[in-house]
Structure 1
Amino acid sequence: MPGRDPQERGRTTTPLELLYDLTYVVAFAAASDQLAEQLGRGDIWPALGAFAFAVWAVSWAWLNFTWFASAYGNDDVLFRLATIVQMIGVIVLIYGLPVSFESAAHGESPNNLLLVIGYIVMRVPLIALWLRAAVEDPPHRRNAISYVVIISVVQVGWFVTAIAGLPVVVTVVSLVVLAMAEMIGPVVAAERYGYAPWNAGHIAERFALLTLITIGEVIAGTTAAVGVLTQVQGWSVEAVLIAASGLVIAASVWWSYFLVPSRLVLEKRPERTFGWRYAHLPLFGSIAAIGAGLHLATIALEHGGVSLLGIALALAVPLATTVALIFLIWSVLMRSFDLTHLPLLLATLAPLAAALAVGAGTQPHQALDLEAPGALTALSAVIGLVALGAVVEVVGHETVGFGHTLRAWRQTRAGALKRSGPLHGRGDRI
């Protein structure tokens, strides 16, 4: 395990990495379903807190594996076995999610022993892999040891918060501190001890693939909602509109994300990877939350108890957040701020505001009743307007934002040509 070539062009995701990602399909689906169920019960803020905690834990563990695999993924027997053990940890963590959401709904900490055990199982094999890298890649030994120390110390902290029985406020504050330590520690250590030989193009592809996984939750939510609707009332114009709108939302999020030339830029300016990767952590959650909004529509159709305004909020807010985060990722990547995106953002928000207006004007304090005149039409209008907002973002970016992306890319490429020396050769620093 001597380390991969950070300058390798055309580096692609391996079948082992794709296998590892399959567990995250289930993890995001479980978190999305739990969020929808809790929202359906009216436990809004506890559900959002537990969802944020779950998505962060899942995304951060994935990010750390991806970071190591980009630098040292040699695909031998030991690396494969360590990866499979980490997959087991993901599954254990998933079993802890229902407990986490229920605890939050009762005013308790979302942290629990089963969830923490799953998280530790995901992280301990990574500690072993970093130790192996420290032995077999002497030029990057100090960097590898710094990861070992940071991960080990924080895992002890996670375990203590799960068993100490501290007051809820103290536990939540401790969780935030531990999460910040997990994120800030590696950056500080890398600045001091140098960077592992990760490959920026490979990192960009891996993050793009996880984004696709989370977009899959939007398609799953659409399929579930339309499936319940057709079972109750059969196929109708409204059912077709909802199905089409859900797919349009998924396609538009995909289109918007991949308008950002991440791989192209990061291969030229890999020092921008750190800020770019952290901007993805809330993005994974916001996209999965769109799927939760569609799952909430399924709950409303199947069991009732959810207002149309609640469904509108559960769809419009995460979509607006997703659009804003894609713009943030673009800005961090390009090191630029385009004021022309602000009118585009407002234009995107207009249909979302209209969706909220429809929800507020259709018995906002009563549960959605499909038997009520115009209820199904109003539901399809809400989902259709949210889809329209997503389309406006795509069209606006293609017609207005693309030109600025080209200009920013030319400036980035010109700046890269002026840089001297490699980014992170053996022991080099940015």
Structure 2
Amino acid sequence: MSGEPDITDELRQELRHRIRPMRGRNPRERGRTTTPLELLYDLTYVVAFAAASDLLAQQLSHGDIWPALGAYVFAVWAVSWAWLNFTWFASAYGNDDLLFRIATIVQMIGVIVLTYGLPVSFERAAHGESPNNMLMVIGYIIMRVPQILLWLRAAREDPSHRKNAYSYVLIISIAQVGWLLTAIVPLPVGVTVTALVVLALFEMIAPVVATRSYGYSPWNAGHLAERFALLTLITIGEVIAGTTAAVAALTQEAGWSPEAVLIASSGLVMAAAVWWTYFLVPSRLVLERRPERAFPWRYAHLALFGSIAAIGAGLHLTTIAMEHGGVSLLGIALALAVPLAITIVLIFLTWSVLLRSFDRTHLPLLLVTLAPLAAAVVVGAVTHPGEAVDLEQPGSLTTLSVVIGLVAAGAVIEVVGHELVGYGHTLRAWRAGAALQAGSVGAGPRLADGDGASGS
């Protein structure tokens, strides 16, 4: 014998995708990683976020600010919420068998169909109509109906979590009927938009209520932390794509210059700073020990995905301004500074939710970080107010570079500040929480048991 271990069983599990039992994964399994199927699924969201970002930039360039923002929020929520629900299920029951793979691929088709409906959504919003449309609804339903079937399967094959699974079946089914009705029933715009908000709130609140009544499904907190981090990286990719497009437009118009190098560097610095800041939040380490904190933590990400992708939209708007004009320097400054500021605040809130701590000593750092962003807006407001950016005008390229450079400086300050003081804040918050728990249960920090993750 060669002495090599027999890997027959591992090969059979890896290569034979017949029907397997869907009895739930181990919620306390350490070291669980994202599967190739999950990575393939995420690729469709690259397209969806890119489309939403581009359409937001185009509508902003036309001056349709509030309709564009409304359509963008609606689009990002629909895409992110469907992704979140699939990820939640896959973490609990993903067995990579034939049926699970087919259901996942069908959901990917739904993402693409919904993406085709985004231009109609933004156009309708620009004309004062509801951003919802039949193509988006069909795509969303294609994304969600396979989840209903998967939850029914989990209910049949995992008796210990049957009530929880049935609650998801009921919630998703009711929501899909509601979304369909908003697209086919002719109602005033205000009533339709109100119905969309109510449906979105129902989809987010109902699972929390059901979980409190019927317990948790066996999702893995560490696996969820990795999955959310990967989608965050996808949205950061929109910032890099926006930087590349802006610099390409600039160099085609005026050739390479110090300003072009500054804009390219600033865009990449923004992307790197958002990445750096996000991963200063110790999501996996904390969630593996406090999995019950995953619910509020995940909801904080819904807005975070949108704000990061909106930074990319700001860079796309810069590209439009350089190629076609029609956009003021103030508009560019706001399109870059506002989403970056929101992203920084949301990361801080995510940290606060995760550690269950609100560190007031972080507020001075937050103000220092926001100062360059505010300065960028001021520069945009006082430089040729009311006029569109014109690269032929002397000094225009320099002031544009100053605005982008100031926004990037705010991102750098956030990273430096976190590295200098954020580390200590996180340690203090964790120790304080551990001491509080020790005082209430008579024990030190421990790994949460199945009550926090599996509903057992």
Q: What TM-score, normalized to structure 2?
A: 0.92
Contact 1:196 1:424 in 2 (8 A): no
Taking the TM superposition and a 5 Å limit, the aligned residue runs for 1:313-352 are: 313-352=334-373
Q: CA deviation at 1:360?
A: 1.0
Q: 1:426 to 1:95 in 2, by over 3 A?
A: closer
Question: 181, 189, 193: which one pairs with 2:210?
Answer: 189
User: What aligned pairs does 1:228-267 form with structure 2 within 5 A after superposition?
Assistant: 228-267=249-288
Secondary structure of the 2:415 match is: helix
Larger radius of gyration: 2
Confirm or deny that 1:291 pairs with 2:319. Answer: no
The letter for the 2-side match of 1:345 is L
Deviation at 1:417, TM superposition (A): 2.6
Aligned to 2:76: 55
Residues 411 and 12 (structure 1), Cα distance of their counterparts in 2 relative to 1, 3 Å cut: farther
Which amino acid in structure 1 is aligned with residue 348 of structure 2?
F
- Aligned counterparts of 2:341 and 2:452: Cα–Cα separation in 1: 37
- Superposed displacement of residue 191, structure 1: 0.6
Aligned length: 428
Which of 397, 401, 419 matches 1:380? 401
Counterpart of 1:149 in structure 2 is 170
Q: 1:404 aligns with which of 421, 425, 428?
A: 425
Runs of 4+ aligned residues of structure 1 deviating over 2 Å after TM superposition are: 409-427
State the distance in 1 between where 2:453 and 2:224 align: 17
Q: Which amino acid aligns with 1:130?
A: W
- Aligned residue among 294, 299, 310 for 1:273: 294
Offset at 1:80? 0.4
What are the superposed Cα offsets for residues 61-90 of structure 1, whole Å, 9 maximum, x if unpaired?
000000000000000010000000000000
Deviation at 1:24, TM superposition (A): 0.3
* 2:201 counterpart of 1:180: yes
RMSD: 1.1
**Secondary structure of the equivalent of 1:21?**
helix
Corresponding residue to 2:414 among 393, 400, 410: 393
Distance 2:376 2:234 in 1: 26
The answer as to whether partners of 1:150 and 1:186 remain within 8 angstroms in 2 is yes
Structure 1 residues 263 and 221: CA distance shift in structure 2, 3 A: same
Query: What is the percent sequence identity of the aligned residues?
Result: 78
Q: Is the 8 A contact 1:316 1:386 kept in 2?
A: yes
Q: Residues 138, 387 of structure 1: CA spacing in aligned structure 2 closer, same or farther, 3 A cutoff?
A: same
- In the alignment, the residues of structure 2 paired with residue 201 and residue 421 of structure 1 have an alpha-carbon distance, to the nearest angstrom, of 14
Q: What's the CA shift for 1:353?
A: 1.0
Which amino acid is 2:92 matched to?
A
Q: Deviations over 1:263-297 (max 9, x none)?
A: 00000000000000001100000000000000000
Q: Distance in 1 between matches of 2:175 and 2:86?
A: 16
**Contact preservation (8 Å) 2:307, 2:340:** yes
CA distance in 1, matches of 2:267, 2:422: 24
TM-score computed with the length of structure 1 as normaliser: 0.98
User: In the alignment, residue 422 of structure 1 is paired with which amino acid?
Assistant: G
2:46 corresponds to which of 25, 32, 44: 25
CA distance in 1, matches of 2:447, 2:259: 56
Could you list the runs of 5+ residues in structure 2 that have no partner in the other structure? 1-21, 438-443
Residues 265, 412 of structure 1: 8 Å contact kept: no
Could you tell me which amino acid in structure 1 is paired with residue 273 of structure 2? Answer: S
* Alignment partners' CA distance in 2, 1:419 and 1:220: 40
Residue 367 of structure 1: aligned partner: 388
Task: Tell me the CA shift for residue 400 of structure 1.
Answer: 1.3
Q: Aligned-pair distance for 1:411?
A: 3.7
- How far, CA to CA, are the matches of 1:356 and 1:171 in structure 2? 35
One-letter code aligned to 2:155: A
> What is the SS of the residue equivalent to 1:340?
helix
